Amino acid sequence: MEEVVPILYDGELSLLDQRRLPFKEEWVRVSGAQDTAQAIQQMVVRGAPAIGVAAAYGAAMEFRRASACGDLDDIEKRLAVLLGARPTAYNLQYAVKRVLAAARRAEANGDDPALAAEDEARRIDLENRKAAERMGELGATLISDGDSVMTICNTGSLAIGYLGSALGAIKAAWRHGKNIHVYALETRPWLQGARLTVYELQKEGIPFTLIVDSASAITIQRKGVRSVFVGADRIVADGRTANKIGTYTLSIVAKAHGIPFYVVAPTSTIQLEKTDMALEERPPEEVTSIGGVKISTAGDAVYNPVFDVTPPQNITAIVTERGIARPPYQDSLKIMLS
């Protein structure tokens, strides 16, 4: 068992380049909002909570770069590039806004905004780790000894910074000695499952089987899969959950086979005030090329939504660091966050 650490901060930020995994373990150094935003946009770092932590440090570094008497309004303008790096992960908005608010509070109190910003970023990172640990423990209670479970995308240490969300629950069950088997969806187009989840499962020593995304139904049907665990990029008040493309499809397949479908995500992913999902679409080339090899002549005739939205009626429970919410989510999420 080897813990995967994708984000390191020592005044500058080091990001394990997730575009190169699993074949190369290379680190990218960033030192401000602009290059952190670029790293997020290009998916050097991905996974909603990890994006949030990287963005928090990216914002904090921007305050440090400014002179002690830097104008916070100017800095706030430079943070816009971070907020716009990727649209769906709510953690990104959440983290940057918290760092900015901490700096403004410090300034109002006559303290150093840069120090306060950095402290807040470290606090977000720490909260994130604690949330992952707690989510993992809670999620693991939903997995029994001998279970086969299915998951999509990568929701492990690479996505969260520590343990994971959905994959964290699976890892926690394994660490508690439960004998489990993981069916990992490869997760086209970016292959987070085939590349990153397999990499983490191998480091952890958990038995697994890789399948193509469209084999979810036959695998649940023929391999006795007991439950599905997924992460989330954004959860709104009624429980609707934006997550990696294919999650909605998988929720329909799980429901058709009568097996539970669990969302595991930190509360920083939940956005009670809004209903908007801001679903990102990415370039056609992510579909028409794989690893630099062109596979189709489709050109721009591609629909490449990176996320879809799973409706609450397909979700058995939402696991956060604060507990396990069950339907109706309109009530249970509000109570959880109060």
Least distance in Å: CB of 14 to a copy of itself?
23
Is residue 229 involved in binding a copy of itself (CB under 8 A)? no
Is residue 219 involved in binding a copy of itself (CB under 8 A)? yes
Is residue 33 involved in binding a copy of itself (CB under 8 A)? no
Q: Which of 1, 23, 67, 68 binds a copy of itself (CB under 8 A)?
A: 23
CA distance 51 to 45: 6
> Quick check: is 331 catalytic?
no
CA distance 307 to 250: 13
Is residue 249 involved in binding a copy of itself (CB under 8 A)? yes
User: Sign of the CA dihedral 165, 170, 246, 329?
Assistant: negative
The β-bridge relationship of strands 181-185 and 148-151 is parallel
Nearer of residues 248 and 262 to a copy of itself, judged by Cβ: 248
Least distance in Å: CB of 182 to a copy of itself?
10
Given 233, 238, 276, 331, the catalytic residue = 233
Is residue 185 involved in binding a copy of itself (CB under 8 A)? yes
Residues 6+ apart with CB under 8 A from 317: 142, 260, 262, 263, 324, 325, 326
Q: Which of 126, 295, 335, 337 binds a copy of itself (CB under 8 A)?
A: 295
Nearer of residues 211 and 278 to a copy of itself, judged by Cβ: 211
Nearer of residues 41 and 249 to a copy of itself, judged by Cβ: 249
The pair of structure tokens assigned to 305 is 């939504």
End-to-end CA distance of the chain: 37
Least distance in Å: CB of 269 to a copy of itself?
19
Q: Which amino acid is at 261?
A: F
Q: How many residues does the chain have?
A: 338
Nearer of residues 34 and 304 to a copy of itself, judged by Cβ: 304
Least distance in Å: CB of 325 to a copy of itself?
23
Are residues 94 and 268 in contact, defined by beta-carbon separation less than 8 angstroms?
A: yes
Nearer of residues 86 and 195 to a copy of itself, judged by Cβ: 195
Interface residues for a copy of itself in 138-167 (CB under 8 A)? 152
Nearer of residues 67 and 297 to a copy of itself, judged by Cβ: 297
Is residue 313 involved in binding a copy of itself (CB under 8 A)? no
Integer angstrom CA distances of residue 281 from 36, 150, 259, 325: 20, 25, 30, 30
Is residue 292 involved in binding a copy of itself (CB under 8 A)? yes
Torsion of CA 285, 52, 337, 234, to 10 degrees: -10
The label of the residue with tokens 């008497």 reads 69
Least distance in Å: CB of 89 to a copy of itself?
18
DSSP-assigned letters across all residues of 206-238: --EEEE-GGGHHHHHHHHT--EEEE--SEEETT
Binding site for a copy of itself (CB under 8 A): 22-23, 152, 183, 185-189, 191, 194-195, 198-199, 202, 207-219, 221, 223, 245-246, 248-250, 252-253, 255-256, 287-288, 290-298, 301-305, 308-309
The residues assigned a catalytic role are 233
